């Protein structure tokens, strides 16, 4: 029996990027797929405990967290930081978030939405 220590692409997230083309020759490179660790980080940042209440929390996923976890590079003339991500206008951030969400749909979600990504 041969042991192969490389990660099988069927079971592990590969370090691939997806380029989102924006107007005016701008672009953003994002992860092609989020890992379990990425999802855990995103979900843990989205849960807040309600003060004074036992076992009660609120869930609100932050677009900034989603963008920070997934954005690998961009063509803008500012460094890629959480602060600069937070200064994106709503139109641009919504476009990038929508593409990240599309890349990370499950096969069932793809079938419901009718996408082929």
Q: Which of 112, 116, 103 is nearest to 18 (CA)?
A: 103
Q: pTM value?
A: 0.72
At 90, phi and psi to the nearest 5? -60, -40
CA angle 100, 58, 34 (to 5 degrees): 25
Q: pLDDT for 92-107, tens place per residue?
A: 999 999 999 999 876 6
Q: pLDDT for 21-76, tens place per residue?
A: 999 999 999 999 999 889 888 887 766 555 655 555 554 568 899 999 999 999 99
């Amino acid at each position: 029996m041969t042991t192969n220590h490389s990660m099988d692409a069927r079971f592990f997230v590969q370090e691939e990027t997806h380029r989102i083309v924006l107007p005016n020759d701008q672009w953003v490179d994002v992860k092609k797929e989020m890992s379990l660790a990425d999802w855990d980080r995103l979900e843990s940042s989205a849960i807040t405990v309600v003060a004074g209440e036992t076992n009660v929390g609120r869930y609100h996923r932050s677009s900034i967290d989603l963008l920070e976890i997934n954005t690998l590079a961009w063509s803008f003339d500012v460094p890629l930081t959480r602060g600069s991500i937070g200064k994106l206008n709503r139109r641009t951030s919504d476009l990038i978030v929508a593409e990240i969400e599309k890349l990370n749909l499950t096969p069932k979600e793809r079938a419901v939405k009718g996408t082929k990504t």
